Amino acid sequence: MFASGGYDHVVHLWDASRNVSRPSPTSLVIKHTSTVQSLLAIRDTSHKLISGGADCNVHIYDLSSERVVNTLKTSNSVYHIHEALSPFCALLEVAHRELQFEIRDRRLVPREAVQRFGYPSQTTHGRYIKGKIPCFPGQRIIQVVFDDARLVACSEDHELAYIHYRSGE
């Protein structure tokens, strides 16, 4: 299974178990009022899907009960959602000039992030923020995923780059 979201404001769950060449979609009852810009599948006490959008909403959807169990309202558009070390927190990349990153606790509905940080910038970069590691000359990186020993980047042309690193360095 995999999830997708986009300009239609809808999050779809796709099942490829019966036929890999023709997966079947199911629309989830997640209500975004603008583009769905990021999705993250997580497992804390159950399987959940987190969606973030240009409407400044982050919805936590429980796959087993098929409902939104929590909604976080951010002050800026959410570009990306990443896992954090705590199974109950998420790292959000948001549209802000100085504080582009927020750590949010998904168990609560706080008015503010647990932690906000970033770097000074004259403009909001948009969905594609400049990085320090060149992966794809002349192309934008549209998604980055981290694990214990590497970073996986996906380009706008759907190419993948695997960058190995050691945590703690």
pLDDT of residue 131: 53
Q: What is the pTM of this model?
A: 0.73
Mean pLDDT within 10-31: 86
Q: Tell me the range of 90-94, 137-141, 154-158, 160-164 where mean pLDDT is highest.
A: 90-94
CA gap 149, 153 in Å, rounded? 14
Q: Which residues contact 134 (CB under 8 A, 6 or more apart)?
A: none
Domains and CATH numbers, the chain: 2-130 (2.130.10.10), 131-169 (no CATH)
Two structure tokens written together for 95: 């549209």
